[in-house]
Amino acid sequence: MGIRSALVCVVCAAACATALGSCIYFPEPVQGLPGGGGWVVLPLRGWMAEGRVQAEGIAGCFAADCAPRVGVGIFRASGEEARIVAGVLREPERLVRYLAERDRADTAPQRRSVRTVVTVEKLREGALAGFAAALSREDGTRMAHAAVLAAETRDGLRFAVVIGESREGVRGMAREVAGKLK
């Protein structure tokens, strides 16, 4: 192979690598998560946007060796959506009323017999404000816990949502992750 053929091969390989590299997206890690373990970070490039609420990072650790087993999302809201989220953070009972109304309005026979019980309480971590929630069936089974903590920024509202099986695990992870909100 001559110099010219080798040069053409190198240029083609570089072009292929560049083209492939532009298609590969490495998701942003969620700050505040413990290192190692079975954390799966979802790629979000252009994936989630609902009005002026955007996901910055979503990760989950549900493997047996994960402690706690939780899903974590970091979101940014601006404009009217930020005001709505801030209102729910100040008065989480709004979420309870909304879910109860949806539950009552659901006419699907397979879900009609299953009603959800939601409890909320305000949650503070330093300057961060939010709420903790517990959701279960009326008989207390299928319990899930959530914690939401938020920080006002010059660009709007940044908030962390953590969901999992353990009340203490969810709250602890929410404090860890939300401590990185700025």
DSSP 98-161: HHHHHHHH---HHHHT--EEEEEEEEEETTEEEEEEEEEETTS-S-EEEEEEEEEETTEEEEEE
Q: Which residue has the higher pLDDT, 6 or 25?
A: 25
- The mean pLDDT value for 76-94 works out to 93
The long-range contacts involving 32-37, CB below 8 angstroms and separated by at least 24 positions, are 32/160, 32/176, 32/177, 32/178, 32/179, 32/180, 33/59, 33/61, 33/72, 33/173, 33/176, 33/177, 34/176, 37/61, 37/63, 37/65, 37/66
| Burial of 24: CB neighbours in 10 Å, binned 0-12, 13-18, 19+ | exposed
Identify whether 19 is part of a domain: no
What is this structure's pTM?
A: 0.78
Identify whether 14 is part of a domain: no
Identify whether 50 is part of a domain: yes
CA angle 138, 106, 119 (to 5 degrees): 35
CATH assignment of the domain containing 69: 3.40.1000
- H-helix or E-strand spanning residue 53: strand 53-61
Q: In terms of residue numbers, what domain contains 52? A: 27-178
| 78 confidence band (pLDDT: 50, 70, 90) | very high
Distance, CA of 56 to CA of 62 (rounded, Å): 20
- For residue 45, the model assigns a pLDDT of 57
List the one residue out of 138, 159, 160 whose CA is nearest residue 70.
Answer: 160
Max Cα separation, the chain? 78
| Residue 60 C-alpha from the chain's centroid | 9
* pLDDT tens, residue by residue, 126-179: 889 999 999 998 888 889 999 999 999 888 899 999 999 999 999 999 998 988
Please tell me the total count of domains within the chain: 1
- The mean pLDDT value for 3-23 works out to 33
